[in-house]
Amino acid sequence: MNPIRNILYFKKKRISNGARITITSLQNKIPINPARVKKAVLGVVSGGHKEKNRLINICFVTDRRIKNLNAKYLKHNYATDVIAFNLSENSGLFPVADIVVSVDTAIRNSRVFNTTPVYELMFYVVHGVLHILGFNDKTSRQRESMNKRAAVILNKLNIKPHKICPSIKQKQL
């Protein structure tokens, strides 16, 4: 794959339900599949939400970049998995959002939770969109509810958390 595409991929596309999703990758550790990201976003926003003309920007970055954004805008001096900015809260216009996802955190957490880095990325994308739609995870109960909702959405989209090792597959047969 072209390394330039991995470093910076930028595409705008209007989806039939009125959403415009922009995907940018400012990292070179995991190739980003724009169609898969859009599918995950639409799996959330088309789930009973009637708003049209959504503009959602998704940016995949390193821990260093997300830490800088977290410090600047949220006053937290650490890297995190995803930051979601609802830019339409005060405008009264159609929903506009920026979602920033850390690829480094996805790689690290995939080892901790025994998932794939791509699953972690998609989980963070869905999690960020849920925040934009008004879901919170400030309490453990809210966090558990949001995580379950994200897992259900990803499962419906056939995005699975575990890759099957050949040795495990053979044992299951």
What is the per-residue pLDDT across 60-99, written as a single tens digit (0 to 9) for each?
999 999 999 999 999 999 999 999 998 876 554 556 899 9
C-alpha–C-alpha distance, residues 159 and 120, integer Å: 10
User: What pLDDT does residue 55 have?
Assistant: 87
C-alpha–C-alpha distance, residues 43 and 63, integer Å: 26
CATH classification number, 3-172, choose in 3.40.390.30, 3.40.50.620, 2.40.50.60, 1.10.10.60: 3.40.390.30
Tell me the whole-structure pTM to 2 decimals.
0.81
Query: Which stretches of the chain score pLDDT less than 50?
Result: 1-16, 92, 166-173
Instruction: List the beta strands (DSSP E) in the chain.
Output: 10-14, 20-25, 55-61, 82-86, 96-102
User: What pLDDT does residue 45 have?
Assistant: 81
User: What pLDDT does residue 9 have?
Assistant: 41
Domain ranges of the chain: 3-172
CB 41 within 8 Å of CB 19: yes
User: What pLDDT does residue 169 have?
Assistant: 38
User: What pLDDT does residue 23 have?
Assistant: 95
User: What pLDDT does residue 163 have?
Assistant: 61
User: What pLDDT does residue 60 have?
Assistant: 98
Order of strands across the sheet that contains 96-102? 10-14, 20-25, 55-61, 96-102, 82-86
User: What pLDDT does residue 135 have?
Assistant: 92
